[in-house]
Amino acid sequence: MNFYTKLFSFVSTGLLLVLILASPASAHDPLILLPEQKTPLNGPFLPDGTISFALYGSLLEKNDTRAFQFYLDSDDRLDISLLIPNLEPENQMPEEKLPRLFLYRPDGSKVEGISDLYIPFDEPFSMTRYVRIFEYVEKSSGGVYQVEVTGINPVRFTVAIGYIESFGTPVENVPNREAGRTGIFDWYQNPVEEKPPETLLEETVTTTIQESIPETTAPVIEKTTETLVEETVTTTIQERTPEITGSTDTSSTKIFIPVIAGLVTILLLAKTLKREKSSN
């Protein structure tokens, strides 16, 4: 075997390995859950729950949720698991702080996933590392299943569903389907920042103060019948009373001047008559 034959064989083997590792058939089809997809009806809908999908999401705050739904025929195998990235802070969290999965069956019953597993798992397609914290398998009764993931603190998670590898399967309500590996890397490399205790305390105190302060409005004074009667009488008297101004009304003075003058004249005449009688 000459040099060129060995080189061709080496290159061919290398390319084959790359194609095998990068082949979509070796991994779950990725979907990135959006912040507004908090309920199953707002989340993605998978028409065939046996097809392998990996749904990547981030809970941004306490009691935040992400959700989706899928369909299975009767007697199909339901295969679902919950994972976290094998990175800090998720891989350092105690069990009570890990996300929890709730599976709602078509008949209304539910399965509450307990995050009691800790199985490391390396994903060759995206070259990312995970820890499987919950896994569940059952025989389907047929119908639409709904899934919700929630937690008590910010955390990243992945829900893996199905067992048949088939990339590009049509799904509904996934506006960012083209995100692919770019979406996975962005999710994987950006942990959710948890608010510091000081910020949470300030928000709690502010909320408590706002809730404890009662709304103050101007008191409404209801007027009684007696009050209304008094106001009516007062208003009537005020309307009928003439305004007193600073100017002097001379009509009264003009009436009294002739009267006084007449009285003075009568007195003078009386005195004159009296004097005449005395002289006689």
pLDDT digits (tens, 9 = 90+) for 147-179: 999 999 999 999 999 999 998 899 999 999 999
Q: Find tokens 């009294």 and name the residue.
A: 256
Region label for 92, one of left (φ > 0), alpha (ψ between -120 and 50) or beta (otherwise): alpha
| pLDDT averaged over 10-residue windows placed end to end, the chain, 280 residues | 47 39 56 98 97 97 97 97 97 95 97 92 88 97 97 96 92 94 94 66 51 52 48 49 45 55 74 68
Task: Break the chain into its structural domains and give their ranges.
Answer: 20-194
pLDDT at 34: 97
The sheet carrying 45-46 orders its strands as: 45-46, 65-72, 143-150, 100-104, 110-112
Question: Are the CB atoms for 80 and 161 separated by under 8 Å?
Answer: yes
Element (H, E) at 104: strand 100-104
Candidates 2.60.120.380, 3.40.50.1220, 1.20.58.100, 2.60.120.650; CATH matching 20-194: 2.60.120.380
In this prediction, residue 255 carries a pLDDT of 52
- Predicted confidence at residue 201, as pLDDT, reads 46
The whole-model pTM stands at 0.63
What is the separation, in whole angstroms, between the first and last Cα of the chain?
191
DSSP state letters, 219-238:
PP-PPPHHHHHHHHHHHHHH
At 63-110, the pLDDT tens digits run: 999 999 999 999 999 999 999 999 999 999 999 999 999 999 999 999
